[in-house]
Structure 1
């Protein structure tokens, strides 16, 4: 009985040693990666100012319009994807959508006329 317990204890200790070795290897790899990232970051120029998005009414309207256009484009592509199984039809719809998006934006959102 005690030999069996000793054998199991030895197996557990060997497993713990393997896990500790893997953990130490992983930590060493992470430390090397962090050091490399730090060296590369030190070579890159720092940004002088934070980039802040505009918050005015025109900027907000523009972001909304761009979001609407993107959602409509994605919906059109999803409908084409679901209705046609032909790759040629899907690719043709993608190309036509890419060509008609600027036309749609100009016709719907242009305020110069």
Structure 2
């Protein structure tokens, strides 16, 4: 009986040592990753946070700009899908770029 207990104790201790070795290996890898990340971030410039304007006018302008961008993108996708010639696609691209300020001023009444 005592031999069986000694064998089981030895198995438990071997399993505990194996787990400890795995844990030490994981910790060593994590430490190397942290050190590498620290060296890389020390070289990179710090990120500058730019605060957004917070009023209702700023939010409305962001929403309008998002609508303009989505409509412009949809226009380009439709032009590329529906038009066959490169000249027509290029013409739609150039005209949409040139007409965006005019349409924004007319539709949203921006006088800047």
Alignment TM class, shorter chain as reference: 0.5 to 0.7
Deviation at 1:111, TM superposition (A): 4.6
Tell me which of the two structures has the higher relative contact order, counting C-alpha pairs closer than 8 angstroms and 6 or more residues apart. 1
* Structure 2 alignment gaps of length 5 or more: 1-28
Q: How many residues align?
A: 80
2:78 paired residue number? 79
Calculate the aligned-residue CA RMSD, in Å: 2.5
TM-score, normalised via structure 1 length? 0.57
Please identify runs of 4+ aligned residues in structure 1 that moved more than 2 A: 37-40, 43-47, 49-55
Residue 72 of structure 2 contacts residue 96 of structure 2 at CA under 8 Å; is this kept in 1?
A: yes
Per-residue CA deviations over 1:56-90 (Å, capped at 9, x if unaligned) read: 10111101110111121112112212221212211
Normalising by structure 2, what TM-score?
A: 0.58
